[in-house]
Structure 1
Amino acid sequence: MLNAAEIGRGVQGALGFLRRDPGALLAFDNTMEACLRSFRLMAVTAPLYVIYALIRYADLTVAIDTFELIAVETMSYIINWLLYPVIFYEVARRRRWLDRYPRYIAALNWTNLPGIVIAIAAIALKMILPAAVGGILEIALQALFFYWFLVITRLALGVDWAMSVVLLAVNWIPSFFLLIIVDRYVGVLGGS
């Protein structure tokens, strides 16, 4: 498992990207071992994701039973963690970025820990705020996560903003469609 020092360094590095600090990259070793180790964050963030999902489903009605919902959300969680690293590996191979792949993926993985904490705070706020303000908060949160991804991509890969936006689309579009598929399967219907 990850130790406290490693978690502190990873979170500090992830948050450093929000300040566009090039030194934030140094928080992540550029080795495949460090990259694979960053996937252990799936276990660290899983309880936080459960909290997020509980808040999200608190005012929603679903068309499936609880066991099925847990199974679908678990599969979605794992797929979302692995989807972009698998897709990007092929991009990196073709673009000759494999030398930067480990640090880049590790940096993206580490943003998930502070990211889920921010998402929990935002979804909890959204529940108590008027709908219009909640909608603005949701847009602001998505903008923050997009910005975070773009900065990491620029700094870790050394690419321009245009290529960063293309890679953002490569990351976000499959995840968005997965969300649609999950919501359709779950049969999410807005609560009162």
Structure 2
Amino acid sequence: MNPSSAAGLAAALLFARGRPEGLALLPNDLATARASFRAALICLPLFLVMRLLSYGTRGTPEVGIPTALVVELIGYTLSWTAFAVVSLPLAAQAGRAEQWPQFMAAWNWTNVVQFILLVAMAVLAALGLPGWLANMLGLAALGYAVWLEWFVVRVALNVTGGTAALFVITDLILGLFIGGYSARLLAG
């Protein structure tokens, strides 16, 4: 693992504990922002595990697993990049365009923590955790993930909580749109 990946993961672990000093580990430049997209490669195996576990518990998609995985991988790529594209004008609108590279690096690396949490929840559900408990843990994990995204926006862009919430809502809307469209494709 190269030094920028190690720093990114260390920053993400600090953010995950509500520690804003993780930002100091991420230089505010485009090279750091570009390098942070390695987080998508780190998360890819975790994403594939989640998808396969989902197929095991919910059944194989009508289009078959190979086609489903292609659709899911396209959705994964779009989800990862769409927010990066949309967040730059949002940061400019908030008067924080100069902080966007550091923000994007923080955002990307924090996704690793979120994916680990999601995989842990998926594995517990696949191992037969009672439905009510799996749902409660899932809601808690979702709440934590939303808080973590909000925290990273607030800290990395140095914006108010309300402005940070708008960034998070934008990401959630993009994710729901892309996920919904992918699901429609998988339904045949």
> Taking structure 1 as the reference length, what is the TM-score of the superposition?
0.90
1:41-120 alignment runs, 5 A limit: 41-61=39-59, 62-120=61-119
Unaligned runs of 5+ in 2: none
Provide the identity percentage: 23
Residue 59 of structure 1 aligns to a residue whose secondary structure is helix
For 2:140, the aligned partner's letter is A
The Cα of 1:54 is off from its aligned counterpart by 1.1
SS at match of 2:97: coil
Deviations 1:107-149 (Å, cap 9, x if unpaired)? 0100122221221111111232111111111111110110100
Task: Quote the Cα distance in structure 2 between the aligned partners of 1:7 and 1:31.
Answer: 15
Aligned to 2:180: 180
How many Å separate the matches in 1 of 2:80 and 2:67? 20
**Distance across 2 between alignment mates of 1:121 and 1:20:** 20
Question: What is the identity, as a one-letter code, of the residue corresponding to 2:69?
Answer: I
**2:125 equivalent to 1:122:** no
How much has 1:65 moved relative to structure 2? Answer: 2.0
* 2:48 aligned partner, one-letter code: V
Q: Deviations over 1:54-109 (max 9, x none)?
A: 11211223111222112101101100110111011111223331110000010010
2:152 aligns with 152
> Equivalent residue for 1:133?
133
Out of 27, 39, 45, the position equivalent to 1:29 is 27
Aligned residues: 186
Q: CA RMSD in A?
A: 1.6
The 8 Å contact of residues 84 and 104 in structure 2, kept in 1 or not, is answered as: yes
Give the drift of 1:41: 2.0
Residue identity opposite 1:130 in structure 2: P
Where 2:49 maps in the other structure, the secondary structure is helix
TM-score by length of 2: 0.92
The DSSP-based 3-state class of the residue aligned with 1:58 is helix
Q: Deviations over 1:23-50 (max 9, x none)?
A: 1101211100110111122222212211
3-state SS of 2:159 partner: coil
CA distance in 2, matches of 1:117, 1:170: 22
Is contact 1:126–1:137 with CA below 8 Å preserved after alignment? no
3-state SS of 2:18 partner: coil
User: Which of 13, 16, 24 is the matching residue for 1:15?
Assistant: 13
Unaligned runs of 5+ in 1: none
